[in-house]
């Protein structure tokens, strides 16, 4: 099986990270911002797995990537619950309209 060179994997991770940051900074919808954050997490995971291929202890990067995926899943669940409550209260998921945090 042919292995992807490290540079290509790092470039893909950089592109994913850049797209995630662009989505977080430009989108005004809460769900889109959450998707951008997930892209950033996936770019970090890709870097962890890529660098762990060149580590003598091969399992460390993959284990840390699994931990990051677990944290990302929990973050997504909590964030979606917050977005649902904000939508219930404000009747919108647009971030510029959600400007009050007191209930």
The angle at the Cα of 96, spanning 92 to 101, to the nearest 5 degrees, equals 80
Pair of tokens at residue 54: 């060149």
- Supply the pLDDT for residue 74: 92
Q: Going residue by residue through the chain (103 aa), what tens digit of pLDDT does each one get? A: 777 888 999 999 999 999 999 999 999 998 999 999 999 999 998 998 888 887 766 777 788 888 888 988 998 999 999 989 988 988 888 888 887 776 5
* Distance linking the first and last C-alpha atoms of the chain: 57
Q: Which residues contact 74 (CB under 8 A, 6 or more apart)?
A: none
Phi-psi region of 53 (alpha: psi -120 to 50; beta: other; left: phi over 0): alpha
């Amino acid at each position: 099986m042919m292995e992807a060179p490290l540079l290509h994997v790092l470039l893909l991770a950089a592109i994913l990270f850049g797209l995630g940051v662009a989505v977080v900074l430009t989108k005004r919808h809460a769900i889109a911002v959450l998707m951008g954050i997930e892209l950033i997490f996936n770019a970090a995971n890709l870097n962890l797995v890529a660098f762990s291929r060149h580590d003598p202890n091969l399992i460390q990067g993959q284990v840390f990537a699994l931990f990051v995926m677990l944290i990302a899943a929990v973050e997504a669940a909590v964030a979606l619950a917050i977005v649902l409550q904000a939508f219930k209260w404000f009747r919108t998921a647009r971030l510029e309209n959600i400007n009050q945090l007191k209930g």
